[in-house]
Each structure stands twice: as C-alpha cells, then as structure tokens.
Amino acid sequence: MSHSRTRIGPKHALLLLRVVAGLLFWQHGLEKLFGFAGAQRETTLWGIRGIGGLLETIGGPLLVLGLFTRPTAFILSGEMAVAYFRAWAPRGFFPIANGGEEATLNAFIFLWLVAAGPGAWSIDAILQRWNWRTPFDRLAALEPHFRALLRVIVGFLTALHGCRELFGVLVAVAGRRNAPQLAMDALPSAVGYLELAGGVLFSAGLAVRPVSVILAVQALLAYLLVAAPRAVWPIRNGGIEALLYFVVFVYFAVAGAGAASLSSVLRRTRRHKSTTAPHV
C-alpha cells in the first residue's frame, strides 16, 4: 500500500511569500489612511501619499487573498518604482543607503508575482476553474526569467549589506520615519561575510538552494533577535526588510534559481563534455 506524503513545494513557498509581502505592505496603507501603529494619518486622499495609501490598503489584502493577483502586483510594482525614484533615489545611488531598500524589494517582488501569479491556494485559482483570465496570465511562461531578475536584485542588496558590515561603507543617510535601525544592520559584523559571499553566489545563481537556506536563517534571526523585541508591528520595529528577505530566500530554497544561473551553465557544460568525450 502506498502512502502519500505532503512535501513542501514551490506552491507552499509562493503562498508564504505572497501572504507575508501582502500583509507587510498593507501596514503602510493602514498607517497612511488610519494612523495605524501610532502614525500620523494622511488627511488628503488625493495627494501622492493618499493615493499611495489607497493602493496599499486595497492591494495588500488582494495579494493576501490571491485575488486579481497579477494586475494588482503590476500596479503595486509601478507604485513602488515611482516611490523609489521620487523619494529615495535623489538621496543616493544605493538602496541600502538612501532608505529605499524596502521599496526596491517590493517593486521586484511584485514584478515577479506578475509572472508567477497567485499559486494554487488563492481565490484566483478558484476563478480560473470558471475560465477567469487576464492578459497578464500570458506572462506565466516567463516566470523563470522574472525570478532570475528578482534573484539578481536580492543578491546584490544582500552583498551590499555585507560590504557595509565588513568595510563600513554605504552608511545609511535616510530611512523610514518613526522606524528604528534595520534589524539586519544590528547583527554582529561577522555576519557580513555570509552576506557578501552569499549575495554574490545568489546573484550569480550558484548553489542557490543551500545559500538561500543560510541567508533565510540569518534574516529570520535578525527579525526574532533584534526587531521583534522592539515592538509588535514590523512597520515600527525595523524588521520589514528582514521578513521580506526571509520569505524570498525560503522561496528560492524550495524553487531554485530560475533562468540564467551559473549553475545551469556549468551543468550544460559538463553534459556537453560528457557527450563529446571519446569512448574507449
């Protein structure tokens, strides 16, 4: 008699990433529109912050539920790109220094979700049984390439953190209002070696799964040991970035590197050599 086993697969990791990213993003909308977590409420709904608050308050729950996931992610990715170039980019080139790291992470996570979609456990998956489709569904075949882009960006940011820890460069010149130092920046400086080496390997697509496991554990420890004791809500304890890194690394640990990875190039090279080698 065969026994079926429940294995953790990409659909589970996608659910985790989508729900966590949506909940964290929702906090920003609640902060702007309702003064969530002690914030100052935005009184002008048709100003730039008011419109952003509306998008975040509506878009966050839609991502959590997996409803209209692809069009919602497309709009929110655009919002984050506008926010980055409007508010953060003028303060410096590197996102970890100019205060725009979270906006950068969200922009590329949401862009990846446009291709990845909601996954199996979502309202969209139920609607698709009734032939519900959007033009964005055609991008599903490009998911490995969008995943590779997300991998390169996240690895680059992680390596920058390592450079800051080890060499004292890229000092933060701006940050989110009413939020303390990022949890990842409060870890011992020796962690910089993991971030620098892991970020380079991750971006290149080499040993992505084991590297992702290590970096996911590091990000989770940063949240639990540094951010969580400060305050309940991630938007106030400096732990949003750590949680975003954690769920991204969990997904890559399960799903792999995606397209254009150095590991795949090396595998193809070895296969080519084995097939062209003379047989004795």
Q: Which residues contact 103 (CB under 8 A, 6 or more apart)?
A: 80, 83, 84, 87, 88, 95
Instruction: Please calculate the CA angle 75-158-18 and round it to the nearest 5 degrees.
Output: 35
pTM exceeding the 0.75 threshold for the entire prediction: yes
* Token pair recorded at residue 96: 């970890």
pLDDT recorded at residue 177: 66
Q: Which residues contact 134 (CB under 8 A, 6 or more apart)?
A: 68, 70, 71
C-alpha to C-alpha distances, 128 to 4, 63, 111, 143, nearest whole angstrom = 26, 16, 21, 18
Q: Looking at residue 2, what is its pLDDT?
A: 41
CA-to-CA distance for 64 and 178, rounded, in angstroms? 26
Question: What's the pLDDT at 215?
Answer: 98
1-10: buried (b, 16+ CB within 10 Å) or exposed (e) per residue? eeeeeeeeee
pLDDT along the chain (280 residues), means of 10: 60 96 97 91 87 97 97 98 95 94 98 94 91 89 97 98 93 73 89 97 97 98 96 95 98 95 80 63
The pLDDT, as a whole number, for residue 173 is 77
- Residue 275: strand, helix, or coil: helix
Q: 196 Cβ partners below 8 Å, 6+ apart? A: 159, 162, 163, 165, 166
Say if CB 219 and CB 158 are below 8 A apart. no
pLDDT of residue 134: 86
At 171 the pLDDT is: 87
Any idea where the domains of the chain sit in the sequence? 11-270
pLDDT score recorded for residue 216: 98
pLDDT of residue 6: 54
* Nearest-angstrom CA–CA distance, 112 and 74: 9
Task: List Cα–Cα distances, 255 to 20, 91, 116, in angstroms.
Answer: 17, 35, 12
Closest-CA residue to 207 (of 219, 195, 196, 199):
199
